[in-house]
A = this chain, B = another copy of it.
Amino acid sequence: MAGMGVGLVGTGYMGKCHALAWNSVASVFGDVERPRLVGLAEVDTDLARRKAAELGFATSTGNWRDLLDNPEIDVISVTTPNQFHADMAIAALEAGKHVWCEKPMATSLADAERMLAAQRASGKVAVMGYNYIQNPLVRHMADLIGEGAIGDITHVRVEMDEDYMADPAEPFYWKSEAQSGYGALDDFAVHPLSLLSVLVGLPVEVMTAMAKPYADRPARDGGRRAVENHDIANVLMTFEGGLSGVLMANRSAWGRKGRIFVQIYGSNGSILYDQERMNEFQLYDRSGNPANHGFRSVLTSGHHPIYGKFIPAPGHGLGFNDLKIVECRELLSAIAGRPAHVVDFEIGLKIERAVHAMARSHAERRWIQTI
Most B CB contacts (10 A, CB to CB) among A20, A159, A266, A299 go to A299
Whether A234 is near chain B, meaning CB under 8 Å from some CB there, is: yes
Whether A333 is near chain B, meaning CB under 8 Å from some CB there, is: no
Q: How many copies does the complex hold?
A: 4
How far apart are the CA atoms of A297 and B311 in the complex, in Å?
A: 26
How far apart are the CA atoms of A213 and B264 in the complex, in Å?
A: 12
B314 touches A257 (CB 8 A): yes
B314 touches A320 (CB 8 A): no
A157 touches B248 (CB 8 A): yes
B236 touches A209 (CB 8 A): yes
A67-120 CB contacts (< 8 Å) to partner B: none
Whether A254 is near chain B, meaning CB under 8 Å from some CB there, is: yes
Q: Nearest Cβ in chain B — how far from A292, in angstroms?
A: 6
A244 touches B209 (CB 8 A): yes
B286 touches A293 (CB 8 A): no
A303 touches B291 (CB 8 A): yes
Whether A319 is near chain B, meaning CB under 8 Å from some CB there, is: yes
B319 touches A304 (CB 8 A): no
Whether A280 is near chain B, meaning CB under 8 Å from some CB there, is: yes
Residue in B164, B232, B280 whose CB lies within 8 Å of A244: B232
Q: Nearest Cβ in chain B — how far from A148, in angstroms?
A: 13
Q: Nearest Cβ in chain B — how far from A193, in angstroms?
A: 17
The interface-forming segment of A23-31, A175-183, A334-342 is: A23-31
The interface-forming segment of A122-130, A221-229, A268-276 is: A268-276
B254 touches A213 (CB 8 A): no
Per-residue contact bits, chain A 236-261, to B (CB 8 Å; 1 contact, 0 not): 10100011101010101111111100
Whether A330 is near chain B, meaning CB under 8 Å from some CB there, is: no
How far apart are the CA atoms of A258 and B367 in the complex, in Å?
A: 31
| CB-CB nearest in chain B for A143 | B291
A270 touches B253 (CB 8 A): yes
Whether A316 is near chain B, meaning CB under 8 Å from some CB there, is: yes
How far apart are the CA atoms of A207 and B365 in the complex, in Å?
A: 9
Instruction: Return chain B residues, CB-CB under 8 Å to A16.
Output: 27-28
Instruction: Return chain B residues, CB-CB under 8 Å to A365.
Output: 366-367
Whether A6 is near chain B, meaning CB under 8 Å from some CB there, is: no
How far apart are the CA atoms of A122 and B269 in the complex, in Å?
A: 50
Per-residue contact bits, chain A 272-305, to B (CB 8 Å; 1 contact, 0 not): 0000111110111110011111111111010110
The interface-forming segment of A48-56, A194-202, A350-358 is: A48-56
Q: Nearest Cβ in chain B — how far from A58, in angstroms?
A: 12
Instruction: Return chain B residues, CB-CB under 8 Å to A327.
Output: none
Per-residue contact bits, chain A 1-20, to B (CB 8 Å; 1 contact, 0 not): 00000000000010010011
Instruction: Return chain B residues, CB-CB under 8 Å to A285.
Output: 292
A255 touches B269 (CB 8 A): yes
Residue in B56, B168, B303 whose CB lies within 8 Å of A290: B303
A19 touches B13 (CB 8 A): no
Whether A369 is near chain B, meaning CB under 8 Å from some CB there, is: no
Whether A142 is near chain B, meaning CB under 8 Å from some CB there, is: no
Do A34 and B13 form a contact, CB below 8 Å, given A155-B252, A244-B232?
no
B13 touches A312 (CB 8 A): yes
Whether A62 is near chain B, meaning CB under 8 Å from some CB there, is: no
- A-B residue pairs, 4 tightest by C-beta: A257-B315, A319-B319, A255-B284, A211-B244
